[in-house]
Amino acid sequence: MQRFAAHHSSQPRRQEPKFQRIWRQSGELRARRAAYTAATELTPWSGRDLDIIIAPLDGKFRGGENEYQRLIELYNLPNEFVWERERGVTHSFGHQLGEDGLETLWMHFLAEIPGSNTPDRQPEWLKWGFVLTWLPKVATSSAAVQDSAYTVSLIVFQPPVETMDHLVRLVRSSNWMDATVDPYVLVDIALVSWYHRIDKVAWQVTKLIRTDEEDVFRRVQLLRSKEFSVADLDLHRLHTSLKNAIFMLEGLDAAIRLVELALLEHESPRRRRGQVWENTHRLLRHRGELFQSTKLRTVSSQARVKNSIDLAFHINTAYDSRVNLDNSRSVRLISIVGMVFIPFSAITSIFGTQFFTPEAQHMNVNPDFWVLWVIAIPMTITILAVWQVSEHDSLKFWRPDLASPALARWWITSGSIGQRVTESVTLEDATELRDLRQPPQTV
């Protein structure tokens, strides 16, 4: 057993392929497929009818900058496409023309996936690239370009699983030639597969928002209780759900923009107008409506999570008010008990002074006992007066109707502006200023 383990561990580990290539040629019965571990093993486009390469994310991936640079030179990737990844754009759609009818179309996709397994729900980012190139098989004249099929080449950088499944299914199907008649069939595949992924993420965002909403509503029902768990709301989680909805809307707006630009380019006079073109154009419009549907649902989810956040703050406020009310009741009870014993305390304090001297038969009162009242009564009156003045000022501050602001009135007679009159009225009387047709009566 030890010899077998030692022999097994000494074998070199097989490297996982980084690149996959699948192609189809007219006249062949089925598609062909190959895998490569490095960019140096790849070969240029060789004029196959349909040639697709699946590569890691464009940029400095695990192979390093040299391998990505080789891809740029080998497949003539547009400079704008390379620059967009360096800038981290949310979405992009580009199209350029080359020699002999060569056309290149590229797109960048970006979406946020909320992390439901982590306590703080920190999101992850899903991004991938799409570069499509097609060349007429006969490019001797413009008429030949319009009447001929194309050799189509596609390179996708770290596409979603849905995109890979759709591409493989197309290449293996019997109608794969539709992509050589109208290359926008591949654009439609990219958009519909992206919709499937985005729609799943949108439902995930909605599910998380529904969970937060149910938690908030459950706490509303327990608001009458004094448990601290009522106000123990995770506001950070609520704000993270709102952030996920905002990012989701950003991705949906970007996808809708991609569909609009694809439709605009697809309507170019250079395109062949046949059944394949018509079906593809209708499908592109349908993809736009799908993204719009998901956007409407996400907008509703965003409004719901905003309502949950507002309700959460109201729950905390109501809970604090209830706690303060209970505390004020306790203070009031203590005050009432204190007021009950104040007379007894006052009597015991007075009789505990040196103004009273107990003797065997009776109690002698000091002749200077009047000094106590001469000092206590004016001090009590002064305190009551200060309290009354402060209460009056406070009432005047909170009731503006006690003041009488001066309001100005203007009127117009016979096309001329009359003289302004300043009157001292209350705010309730200001409603009469709505009718300015009659000047005020002067005495």
> H or E stretch including 164?
helix 161-172
- Rounded-to-integer distance, Cα 206 and Cα 300, Å: 9
Asked if the structure places residue 439 within a domain, the reply is: no
Tens place of pLDDT per residue across the chain (443 aa)? 444 444 444 455 567 788 899 998 888 888 889 888 888 888 888 888 999 999 888 776 555 667 788 888 888 888 899 888 778 777 889 999 988 888 999 999 988 887 765 556 667 888 899 999 998 886 544 444 444 588 999 999 989 999 999 999 999 988 898 899 889 999 999 999 999 999 999 998 888 888 888 888 777 777 666 565 555 667 778 888 888 889 899 989 999 999 999 999 888 776 667 888 889 999 999 999 999 999 999 999 889 888 888 887 777 777 777 777 777 777 777 877 777 667 667 766 766 666 667 776 777 777 777 777 777 788 778 877 887 887 776 655 555 554 444 444 555 555 444 444 444 444 444 444 444 445 555 44
> Does residue 427 sit in the same domain as residue 384?
no
Asked if the structure places residue 154 within a domain, the reply is: yes
> Does residue 375 sit in the same domain as residue 406?
no
With the C-alpha atoms ordered 421, 426, 432, 434, is the resulting torsion angle positive or negative?
Answer: positive
**Both structure tokens of 365:** 């009162």
> Does residue 48 sit in the same domain as residue 136?
yes
Asked if the structure places residue 336 within a domain, the reply is: no
> Does residue 313 sit in the same domain as residue 368?
no
- Rounded-to-integer distance, Cα 186 and Cα 132, Å: 8
Paired strand residues for 437: none
Domains identified in the chain, total number: 3
Q: DSSP states of 309-326 as a string?
A: HHHHHHHHHHHHHHHHHH
Asked if the structure places residue 335 within a domain, the reply is: no
> Does residue 35 sit in the same domain as residue 145?
yes
Q: Is 118 in contact with 240 (CB distance < 8 Å)?
A: no
pLDDT on residue 343: 66
- Rounded-to-integer distance, Cα 11 and Cα 83, Å: 42
Residue carrying structure tokens 């486009």:
45
Q: Is 150 in contact with 180 (CB distance < 8 Å)?
A: yes
Count other Cβ atoms within 10 Å, centred on residue 406.
8
SS3 128: strand
> Does residue 110 sit in the same domain as residue 141?
yes
Q: Phi/psi of residue 383, each to 5°? A: -65, -45
Asked if the structure places residue 197 within a domain, the reply is: yes
SS3 54: strand
pLDDT on residue 321: 73
Asked if the structure places residue 347 within a domain, the reply is: no
CATH number where 313 lies: 3.30.460.20
Q: Is 74 in contact with 44 (CB distance < 8 Å)?
A: yes
Asked if the structure places residue 45 within a domain, the reply is: yes
pLDDT on residue 361: 72
pLDDT on residue 101: 83
> Does residue 67 sit in the same domain as residue 116?
yes
- Rounded-to-integer distance, Cα 297 and Cα 199, Å: 10
Environment class of 139 (CB within 10 Å of its CB; exposed 0-12, middle 13-18, buried 19+): middle
Pick from 295, 320, 345: which residue ends a domain? 320
AA identity, residue 14: R
Q: Phi/psi of residue 389, each to 5°? A: -65, -45
Range of the domain at 201: 10-320
- Per DSSP, which regions of 141-264 are E strands? 150-157
> Does residue 380 sit in the same domain as residue 411?
no
- Rounded-to-integer distance, Cα 281 and Cα 123, Å: 34
> Does residue 408 sit in the same domain as residue 387?
no
> Does residue 20 sit in the same domain as residue 106?
yes
**Both structure tokens of 168:** 């493989």
Per-residue exposure over 13-52, b if at least 16 CB sit within 10 Å of its own CB, e if not: eeeeebbbbbbbeeeeeebeeeebeebeebeebeebbbbb
| Whole-number Cα distances in Å, 199 to 290, 296, 335, 397 | 9, 12, 62, 57
Asked if the structure places residue 333 within a domain, the reply is: no
pLDDT on residue 235: 75
> Does residue 315 sit in the same domain as residue 417?
no
Residue carrying structure tokens 């599910």:
207
- Rounded-to-integer distance, Cα 113 and Cα 121, Å: 10
CA-wise closest residue to 265 among 280, 250, 249, 286? 280
> H or E stretch including 298?
helix 275-351
> Does residue 31 sit in the same domain as residue 130?
yes
pLDDT on residue 190: 94
Half-sphere exposure of 357 (CA within 13 A, CB side): 6
